[in-house]
């Protein structure tokens, strides 16, 4: 079955969704998204501990889209594309990010998530400190620090799924629960 | 040496680096997409400061949020201060975190474990 972006979006936005966005992700848009989410969090009066975790994780997810989202054809134009869905329901808080990723990057990325998911809290702490202290990373890439951060801060494994789209891209969805 | 003052923005912290007093303040959020651009002038100021330190240096880290991109820049900032400390000048880091913000407390502990500087963890209660 062919991948359908609008269908995926419709299936993942519910009446419990507090915020959603799909579209191009430039620097200004990153600021807008984060400001809107913080306004919603203020309005909903989340406890400070939860609020800080949500904002920290959403900063990682949104900026990850900005740095790594592959371009996608929207309205006959190729733009960096990303999607964010922030939901609170009876099971807790769920944050989804989705973007297109080239096939050659997908395996490396998901292998790293699998490895990081397999670690316990103390191992995660050690890995975080090791990566921060030793690994050289660029403006764009955090050497995997963002993944470790999200798992550490959420206290849960980082879930993902991917689906092949037309061409060489996959559609990758990351899901963080707290 | 001139005091470095940078106002805060929605993605960058307020900076006040006062060489005469030896007080270096970073306050607010550090979440720019390209952190190096923001931290370059801070590191340049610190380089000059390191050549003419006259007094004890106290770093006031009052960050609300920081992103992955900033975490490495903050480490580089501390490593520069570590060099000053190794030259025999006293350097202390006061790492502030809000009550219940375990993540920010842990972030301070992470830097404390990596950098050879004394870190004071300061919990701030809500007013």
The contacts of residue B23 (CB under 8 Å, 6+ apart) are: B16, B17, B57, B58, B60
Residue whose structure tokens are 């106002």: B7
The percentage of residues in chain B with a pLDDT greater than 70, rounded to a whole number, is 99
The percentage of residues in chain A with a pLDDT greater than 70, rounded to a whole number, is 90
Which domain covers residue A60, as residue numbers? 5-177
**Which residue of A47, A60, A129 is in closest CB contact with B68?**
A60
Q: Which two tokens stand for residue A162?
A: 């991917």
Per-residue pLDDT tens digits for A104-156: 889 999 999 999 999 999 999 999 999 999 866 655 556 679 999 999 999 99
How close, in Å, is residue B1 to chain A by CA atoms?
A: 30
Distance CA B1, CA B54 (A): 11
Distance CA B79, CA B59 (A): 13
Q: Characterize the bridge pairing of strands A17-24 and B4-6.
A: unpaired
The contacts of residue B112 (CB under 8 Å, 6+ apart) are: B93, B95, B119, B121
Q: Are B25 and B60 in contact (CB under 8 A)?
A: yes
Chain B residues interacting with chain A (CB cutoff of 8 angstroms): 10-11, 31, 33-36, 65, 67-69, 71-72, 75, 98-104, 106, 110, 113-114, 126
Q: Where are the domains of chain B?
A: 26-124
Q: B5 by DSSP, 3-state: which?
A: strand
Yes or no: domain B26-124 corresponds to CATH 3.40.50: yes
- The CATH number of whichever domain residue A15 belongs to comes to 3.30.565.10
Q: Which two tokens stand for residue B117?
A: 């500087």
- Distances from the Cα of B49 to the Cα of A10, B15, B46, angstroms: 56, 15, 5
- Give just the sign of the alpha carbon dihedral A125, B58, B38, A39: positive
Per-residue pLDDT tens digits for B50-103: 999 988 999 999 999 999 989 999 999 999 999 999 999 999 999 999 998 999
Q: Look at residues B87, B110, B11 and name the one whose alpha carbon lies nearest to residue A63.
A: B11
Distance CA A66, CA B67 (A): 13
**CA atoms within 13 Å, Cβ hemisphere of A28:** 1
Q: How many Å is the maximal CA-CA distance in chain B?
A: 40
Model confidence, pTM: 0.91
Which residues in chain A have their CB less than 8 angstroms from residue B76's CB?
none
ipTM surpasses cut 0.85: yes
């Amino acid at each position: 079955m062919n991948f359908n972006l609008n269908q995926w979006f419709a299936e993942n936005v519910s009446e419990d969704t507090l915020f959603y966005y799909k579209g191009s992700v430039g620097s200004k848009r990153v600021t807008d998204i984060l400001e809107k989410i913080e306004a919603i969090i203020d309005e909903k009066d989340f406890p400070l501990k939860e609020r800080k975790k949500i904002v920290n994780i959403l900063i990682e997810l949104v900026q990850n889209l900005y740095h790594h989202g592959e371009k996608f054809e929207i309205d006959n134009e190729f733009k960096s594309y990303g999607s964010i869905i922030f939901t609170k329901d009876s099971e807790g808080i769920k944050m989804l990010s989705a973007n297109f990723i080239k096939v050659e990057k997908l395996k490396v990325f998901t292998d790293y998530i699998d490895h990081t998911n397999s670690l316990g809290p103390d191992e995660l702490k050690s890995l975080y400190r090791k990566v921060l202290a030793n690994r050289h990373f660029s403006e764009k890439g955090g050497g995997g620090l963002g993944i470790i951060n999200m798992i550490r801060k959420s206290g849960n494994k980082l879930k993902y799924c991917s689906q092949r789209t037309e061409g060489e891209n996959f559609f990758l969805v990351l899901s963080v629960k707290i | 040496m001139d005091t470095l003052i940078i106002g805060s923005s929605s993605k960058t912290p307020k900076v006040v680096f006062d060489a005469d007093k030896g007080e270096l303040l970073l306050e607010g959020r550090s979440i720019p997409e390209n952190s190096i651009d923001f931290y370059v002038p801070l590191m340049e100021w610190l380089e000059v400061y390191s050549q003419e330190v006259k007094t004890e240096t106290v770093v006031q880290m009052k960050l609300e949020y920081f992103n992955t991109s900033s975490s490495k820049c903050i480490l580089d900032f501390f490593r520069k201060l570590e060099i000053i400390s190794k030259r025999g000048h006293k350097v202390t880091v006061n790492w502030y975190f809000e009550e219940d913000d375990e993540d920010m407390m842990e972030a301070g502990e992470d830097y404390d474990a990596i950098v050879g500087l004394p870190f004071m963890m300061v919990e701030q209660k809500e007013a």
